[in-house]
Structure 1
């Protein structure tokens, strides 16, 4: 399949924590879309830093199961901070419920990791044209849900607040978070106050419970 335009360079970012798949996907994109400039990143944190330096991109291909993005919460954050950037979710699973949740939370498409390179390129064509790409046989009916409202609230968090909330979701205590981020416990508590206000909750337990609704566990898609 030919690339969209031989005269313009597409800027794509692949975000996946598995080196073999990340490299294979980047190589496949390079072969089928020679006009692309492709960057490969290993974590959601690296993507946040990349966007902080330069957000002039055409498309983000985002792995669903990044360890530091808690399922669909990374997508929610991206839609809140960079609504102009289309995000194509990539996963080894294409369970209809997960696909629907991703679309409801703002994904421009959902692609299985088992797709061949030509299908991948076609999916990118559609997404860059402003259309939605979903697995064969899936009905992309739009839906508004509580999760969509939650995704919007998560999208209001700053990058540091998002990192802290992810760490809370992993069960870390304030002092552990402070050590990991090289900040004081008082700063962590100040961020927690802002997080709870943005999520409209009263304590950290409620914040984690709400945040975990955006998680996608392996057993949910097996």
Structure 2
């Protein structure tokens, strides 16, 4: 596995490189200390399997870089690794096409879990405290988990569901898989050989089944299912 790590802080860049190397002997990590260096690296050698992106870069806004890379390299998964623990940043990153969001304060084991989930075709977000506390109420979860849980509650997708209980048809499940990859309706239609109008109907049915009102909420809801014991196994990435 070949990983591009983008972070403008030398010590963090070095530390993350060492941690990611721990995933196995066949992992190659290339560091880039700026958005410009990352662009040049991808232009020279676009055969990366994964990008880890810090949101705070000296020469660019991390969200802009995320949008740029998702547009230029749609098959290349990007995971945000950030010092931020704001729920709004998690939701915005997923909304822009990130396949995962890992706070820098997370443990090495959490980072490994996130990368394995993403490389298997899933989407990782910090675990949510689903229903164990009301928004604003203190609990045992670290601050990042409380914040994401609060954002989930306010967005209206606080109840976890088992995927088999959703009653999706095989075609709706296919649509959900592509939706989780951030594909727009037009590309989903092309991939599945359907009309855009039919895809819109399937997307609407999927959102109703998940009891959410947006694609971002669907991503977070399914990610939460994947983190429940015996829960939903992430849908595989199409190639």
* TM-score band w.r.t. shorter chain: 0.5 to 0.7
Tell me, yes or no, if structure 1 residue 46 matches structure 2 residue 37: yes
Q: Following TM superposition, by how much is the alpha carbon of 1:35 offset from its aligned partner in structure 2, in angstroms?
A: 2.0
Q: Distance in 2 between matches of 1:69 and 1:78?
A: 13
CA shift in 2, pair 1:19/1:46, >3 Å: same
Query: Which residue of the other structure, out of 73, 76, 79, is the alignment partner of 1:85?
Result: 76
- Map of 1:38-117 to 2, 5 A cutoff? 38-117=29-108
Question: Do the aligned residues in 2 keep the contact of 1:32 with 1:118 (CA within 8 Å)?
Answer: no
Question: Who is 1:131 aligned against?
Answer: 122
Contact 2:82 2:102 in 1 (8 A): yes
Paired residue for 1:25? 16
Residues 53 and 62 in structure 2, CA contact (< 8 A), matched pair in contact too: no
Task: Report the Cα offset of residue 12 of structure 1.
Answer: 0.5
Q: Is the 8 A contact 1:94 1:135 kept in 2?
A: no
TM-score (norm 2): 0.53
User: Could you tell me whether the CA contact under 8 Å between 1:32 and 1:117 is conserved in 2?
Assistant: no
Deviation at 1:34, TM superposition (A): 2.8
What runs of 5+ residues in structure 1 fail to find an aligned partner?
1-9, 150-222
**Separation (CA, whole Å) in 2 of partners of 1:32 and 1:56:** 19
> Which deviates the most, 89-98 or 132-141?
132-141
Secondary structure of 1:72's match?
helix
Take 2:22 and 2:73, find their aligned partners in 1: how far apart are those partners?
A: 28
Q: The residue matched to 1:32 in structure 2 has which SS?
A: coil
What's the TM-score once normalised by structure 1's chain length? Answer: 0.57
- Equivalent in 95, 103, 112 of residue 121 of structure 1: 112
